[in-house]
Each structure stands twice: as C-alpha cells, then as structure tokens.
Structure 1
Amino acid sequence: MKKPRPQPVQSVTAPRTVSRVVPDPTALKALAHPVRLRMLGMLRIDGPATATQLAARLGLNSGATSYHLRQLAQYGFIEEAPHASRRDRWWRASHELTSVPASEAEGEALDLDLAFNQAVLSLQVGQMQQALEEYAELPAEWRKASAANDVIIPMTAEQAEVLTRQLTDIILEAMRVAPPLGEATAPGMVPFSIMLHAFPYPGRLPHSEEDGGS
C-alpha cells in the first residue's frame, strides 16, 4: 500500500504587539497639520528617511520639512534612526499607530479633537480619491479585495459602541499577525488601507439634554 505523502505544515505568524501612541491634547494639536500627518504616514509605511528625501516627495523645501520633523520629534511621534551616513539626519516613526480614544472632552480639548479629526478626514479623502483614480489599473485580485461600502443600521449608542469596538479589534488582530510597517514583506504583499468611519446618520444627530429644550 502506498503511503500518503505528508502535507506541508503551514506556518502561522505569531501575533505581535502593535506599537501605538495615545497623544495628549497638546501633542494632538501639533499633529493636526496636513504636512505632518503625511510625513508621519510616509515614515510609517516606507521606513526611515531624511528631511531632503521627504521634501522631494512632498514638493517642499528641506527647511520647512526639517521644521515639521522637529515638531513631530518633540511630541514623540518620530525619532532619529541609526544610519551609516553621518552627513544626513535620518528619521523613523516611533509607533505604527496613533490611537485617539472617543472624546468626552469639552471646551478647548474638544476643539483640538475636532481639528485633528478634520485634518485626518481631509487626508483620507485625498487618499480615497487617488485610490479610485488608480482602481482601473489594479490587478483583478486587488480590485476584488477593495471595497467602498455604506451600511446604515438602527442602533442605540451602546450597541454602536460595541460594534465599532468589535470591528476595530478585528482590524488590529490582522495587523498583529502582519509584518511591521516599513519593513521588507513577502512577494505580493503591499500596504493595505482600511478606514473605519462610524457615526450617527447626519441630520438625525441626538442632542444632549441641555440642548433639548423643556
């Protein structure tokens, strides 16, 4: 009797810890700048770079880029990266992810939260528009992996919070078993962007009790 050929064992990547930063309001204010957001994203996705390299990618002068890099470094978003070249100063992202918890702040802290979210939204809209422009040129397998869904569900605030937390957990779990951003990856592997926007349908917003009248 012919013995069955042993099947190869599939390797499973062990989950790793995703490094993240939770900025305080002052740091959030420093990050709420379109150029700094783009620079931080570039350093996370593409790995370490110099001010000159980032300036060329962004169409800026190296002086302006150096200023924004110093601001990011001051608040701990980036750090100097060791490099063989002594002529250039290399920078790398200090974390893979920026976490901004749901805001319960009021006054100036809430204004800073809104300013940061507005800057992030503007950046994301630009990325989504560029992705749409490139969609027709994507290989079929990447078109099938892409999505732009819009689902509206009647829910209480508590149910909505649970759902968004579950969706975030699923995304973070996928990130934990993936290679770190900015490092060499397997063939066919590219950065894949997932944007989660969840909110009460506009125009149907619940009002706080103090705004509800008698």
Structure 2
Amino acid sequence: MTDRVTLDSAALRVLAHPTRLALLGHLRRHGPATARRLAELFGIDSGAASYHLRRLASGGLIEEDTERGNKRDRWWRAKHAQSLHDPATFPGERADSRAYAQALALAAADELRRVAGAVPVLPDAWFDASVFSDHTLRLTPDGLEALKRELHAVIERHAENPEPDDVTPVSVRLQAYPLPEE
C-alpha cells in the first residue's frame, strides 16, 4: 500500500458517495475485508457493498487481495493510506470537487455520531488526550489557505514518526470553511 494518492477527477466522482468513503476508510484502518463482512458492519445489502467495492476498484482506490479468499468470497484492500484533494489545484473539476466535499462532510457527520456514542466509555487516557473544540476565525481566502498549509505541515510531521507497537488509529479532521449565513 502506498502512503497517499492525489485524487483525480475520476476518483473524485467515485468517492462522491458517503458509503464508498466509509468502505474505503474501513479498509484503510482495518485492512482487507470481504463485501459480506463490510455489508454486515455498515448495515447494507451485500450486493450493494459489492457494487460500491467494484466502483472503488474501477477508480483505482482499492484492489482485490488475491492472496486471500476463494471464488465465493473476494477480499478487497486499500491501495493507499491517505487521499489528498485540494480544490485549488484542480480548478477545472469544481463539480467533482464539490460532490466529493459534500460526501466527505456527510461521512464525517456519521462518524462523529458514532464517536459521540463512544465518548462515555473511552478509557481515561484516551479521553484526556482527545480534543473536542470549536473555533470561529475571521479570515480571507488567502488566510484560510495559509492556515490549511500550516495544519497539513503539522500533520505530516506526526505522520512521519515511527510507530511503536501500542498505537491506535486516531482520526484527525481539519474542517475549515466559511460559516453559512444564519
């Protein structure tokens, strides 16, 4: 698996669906799985899971894990650990960028609902290390661009650190956008 991929227009179109984002995220975090297992985890029909997995494969985001499974159960794995998409670098793909961003926001909202249910039972060390914050900044588009670059640089520094044996996947979300009118 490669570290990251920059999303092109075709990949953006494939990922413009919250279910596909969720399936890809699961494969990244937990490793290979079958359509049947993913369908159980996400409460969807196994045929729908298979369809979404084939779409992810056609977009070059996942691949069949041929070392596992049989004719009845196909295993799938992510081809990369991280997707990168900066709308400013692909101005000709605005519609695809917007659809992807919308699906990403919907998937994040679903994940936050699951996290909210787990907060009461988080071990103290993980709860103390977590952060749930909300900041409203007043920025220009250039100011938001500068903030985005700085935050990504911090994440990159931490992503490059060698991992000890006792690590746990941690979700880091950067959501910065102008607030809609009330």
Place the TM-score, normalised by the shorter chain, in its bin.
Answer: 0.7 to 0.9
Q: Give me the whole-angstrom Cα distance separating, in 1, the residues matched to 2:81 and 2:113.
A: 24
Q: Residues 5-41 of structure 1: CA distance to partner in whole angstroms, max 9, x if unpaired?
A: xxxxxxxxxxxx9621222222211111121111101
Structure 1, unmatched stretches of 5+, are 1-16, 180-184, 205-214
Asked if 1:31 is matched to 2:31, the reply is no
CA shift at 1:154, angstroms? Answer: 3.3
Q: In the alignment, which residue of structure 1 is the partner of 2:43?
A: 59
- Report if the CA contact (8 A) 1:18-1:175 is conserved: no
**Matching of residue 124 in structure 1 with residue 104 in structure 2:** no
Q: 1:158 aligns with which of 133, 142, 158?
A: 142
Q: List structure 1 segments (4+ residues) > 6 angstroms apart after TM superposition.
A: none
Q: Cα deviation per residue 1:153-198 (whole Å; 9 max; x = unaligned)? A: 333332321221111111122122254xxxxx723x2211111011
Write 1 or 2 for the structure with the bigger share of strand.
2
- 1:202 matches 2:180: yes
Counterpart residue number, 1:90: 75
Identical-residue share of aligned pairs (%): 36
Higher alpha-carbon Rg = 1
Aligned pairs for 1:1-214 within 5 A: 19-87=3-71, 88-103=73-88, 105=91, 109-179=93-163, 186-187=165-166, 189-203=167-181
- CA 1:162/1:69 → structure 2, altered by over 3 Å: closer, same or farther? same
Flag the structure with more relative contact order, 1 or 2, with Cα contacts below 8 A and sequence separation at least 6. Answer: 1
Structure 2 CA distance, aligned partners of 1:84 and 1:51? 13
Q: Which structure carries more helix by proportion?
A: 2
3-state secondary structure, aligned to 2:76 = strand
TM-score computed with the length of structure 2 as normaliser: 0.87
Q: Deviations over 1:120-155 (max 9, x none)?
A: 101111111221221111111111111121223333
Q: Secondary structure at the match of 2:175?
A: coil
TM-aligned CA deviation for residue 85 of structure 1: 3.7
Whole-angstrom distance in 2 between the partners of 1:142 and 1:127: 17
The alpha carbon displacement at 1:54 in A equals 1.3
